[in-house]
Structure 1
Amino acid sequence: MTDRTKENLTLLRNKGTQYIFDYDPGLLETFQNAHPDRDYFVKFNFPEFTSLCPITHQPDFATLYVSYVPDTRMVESKSLKLYFFSFRNHGDFHEDCINKIADDLIQLMNPKYLEVWGKFLPRGGISIDPYVNYGKKGTRWEQVAFDRLSHHDMYPENVNNR
C-alpha cells in the first residue's frame, strides 16, 4: 500500500487553482498505483469538455470517457480536469483532440490499457463520436485493444440527449 499523502501532487491541495485556457499537457500529474499486482479499470466521465473548431472557431461540446488499466502510475483527477479545461481555447478537430488526449495519457502513465471516447454534441446537424484505444505492446492488453476496437460500437446506445 502506498502513502499517497507523500506524493508530489501540487494541484490536489492547492486552494489557489489557476485555470489555463491554452492546451497544456504539463498540467497532468500522477501518483503511484497502490495495487499494481491487480488489473482493474479506472473510468473518468467528463461531461463538460469544450474545444474550438480550428476552422470556424466555434465551440464544440462533448462528454469524454477515459478508461484505463493502470500499471505503476495513475493520473490524478484534479490535474486531469484542469488538463481537459486547457482545451477550452484549443482549436482542433474532434478526432485530433481525442487522439492527443490518448497520446498524452499514454506518455504520462504508460498504462496497460487505455481508451478515450468523445461524444460530441451536434453542430450543423451531425454529431461525431471518435474513439481511440491502446494496449501495451507485447502484453495481452495489445490483443484486448484490437478486439475492443474491432467490435467497438457494433451495438450503439440509444442517444436521447442530442
Structure 2
Amino acid sequence: MPRDKKNEGLRLLGKKQVQYHYDYCPEILETFENRHKGRDYWVKFNCPEFTALCPITGQPDYATIYISYVPDVRMVESKSLKLYLVSFRSHGDFHEDVVNVILKDLVRLMDPKYIEVWGKFLPRGGISIDPWANYGRQGTKYEELAAHRFMEHDLYFMDKVDNR
C-alpha cells in the first residue's frame, strides 16, 4: 500500500518491532498533517496507566494523563504519544513538572491552537495531586479560551476523577 505524502516521516505507525524507552524521550514524538485544518475540533487522549518516579524517593507514581487539544496544521501520532508517555516510567519528576513538560513538548511539536494536560495521580501517603496546565495560541480566540478554562478549571466542565 503506497504511503500518503501527508504522512511521510511517520516511522513508528505500523512497525511491529518498536523500542521502548524508559527514560524521558521527547524525540520519539511524531506528527502528521491535519486533514481538517479549516475546522475546530477536539482531540482527546486518555492514558490510564501513566507511571513516573518520585525524584526524591524513587517510588513509582501512577496517574491517568488526559490530553485534549484543538489541532492546527500538525497532529500528534498516537503510537508515538504512547511511547513518549511510557518514556516517563523511569524518569524522576514531580507531578506538576510532568504535566508541564508534557504540555511544553506537545506545544513545541504541534503548535496547536489550544491544548490542556491534566494529571490525576493516585494517592501516595494519603494525598493525591492533580496538576492541570493549558495553553492557547497568543493573540487568538484560543488565548481567551485558555484564560476562560483556567478560571473555571475543575468547577464543572471536566470529567470526574474516576481513577481512584
Quickly name the TM-score band, shorter chain normalised. Answer: over 0.9
Q: Secondary structure at the match of 1:146?
A: helix
Do residues 137 (structure 1) and 124 (structure 2) align? no
Pairwise CA RMSD of aligned residues? 1.5
Q: Which residue of 1 aligns with 2:41?
A: 40
What TM-score comes out, normalization by structure 1 length?
A: 0.94
In the TM superposition, what is the alpha-carbon distance from 1:159 to its structure 2 partner?
4.5
Preserved contact between residue 120 and residue 163 of structure 2 (Cα < 8 Å): no
Q: Give aligned-pair identity as a percent.
A: 65
- Whole-angstrom distance in 2 between the partners of 1:129 and 1:37: 33
- Whole-angstrom distance in 2 between the partners of 1:62 and 1:16: 27
Distance of aligned partners of 1:157 and 1:71 in 2 relative to their CA distance in 1, 3 Å threshold: closer
Residue identity opposite 1:113 in structure 2: Y
Residue-pair matches, total = 160
Preserved contact between residue 10 and residue 30 of structure 2 (Cα < 8 Å): yes
Q: Which residue of 1 aligns with 2:31?
A: 30
Distance of aligned partners of 1:106 and 1:5 in 2 relative to their CA distance in 1, 3 Å threshold: closer
Q: Which residue of 1 aligns with 2:106?
A: 105
Q: Which residue of 2 aligns with 1:59?
A: 60
- Whole-angstrom distance in 2 between the partners of 1:85 and 1:22: 8
Q: Which residue of 2 aligns with 1:147?
A: 148
In the TM superposition, what is the alpha-carbon distance from 1:35 to its structure 2 partner?
0.4
Structure 1 regions of 5+ residues with no counterpart? none
Residue identity opposite 2:18 in structure 1: T
Residue identity opposite 1:49 in structure 2: F
In the TM superposition, what is the alpha-carbon distance from 1:124 to its structure 2 partner?
0.2
Structure 2 regions of 5+ residues with no counterpart? none
Preserved contact between residue 4 and residue 32 of structure 1 (Cα < 8 Å): no
